Amino acid sequence: MTETAHHMSADMQQCIQECLTCHSVCLSTVQHCLQMGGQHAEARHITTLLDCAEICQTSANFMLRGSELHTRTCGVCAEVCTRCAEECERMGSHTQMQACAERCRRCADSCRRMSAMAA
């Protein structure tokens, strides 16, 4: 993303990237879970994955627009990602679930750092 580099800190660039990757992985995981069925396809879990995908997108967009209030969307994003990671981890040792949980954890960490810069 060299075109956006000159007016952004390295931390923010990394956070945008984490959000976009987490968004993509969560949306893919929705499909995966619906096809697996059972607990994977429960309303609560699908909803959390959709929540996580959407707030990651919104959070990335706030940073891409250079919005001051990105610290607030990053704060919520960190919370939603953490919940999504916990739910995926609870689903057991399935590869896709572990991969999704890991991306959510990384995104949560990065968003928490951005959010803390507000204080």
Residues forming contacts to a copy of itself in the complex (CB under 8 A) are: 1-4, 7, 16, 20-21, 24-25, 27-31, 34-35, 37, 41-43, 46-48, 50-51, 54-55, 57-58, 60-62, 64-67, 69, 72-73, 75-76, 79-80, 83, 96, 99-100, 103
Taking each helix axis from N to C terminus, what angle separates 95-116 and 10-36, rounded to the nearest 10 degrees? 150
Which residues make Cβ contacts (< 8 Å) with residue 55, sequence separation at least 6? Answer: 73, 76, 77, 80, 81
CB of 30 to a copy of itself, least distance (A): 7
Identify which of 32, 17, 25, 2 has the alpha carbon closest to the alpha carbon of residue 84: 25
Residue 85 to residue 64: CA distance in whole angstroms:
25
CB of 48 to a copy of itself, least distance (A): 8
Nearer to a copy of itself, 41 or 113 (CB): 41
Nearer to a copy of itself, 51 or 109 (CB): 51
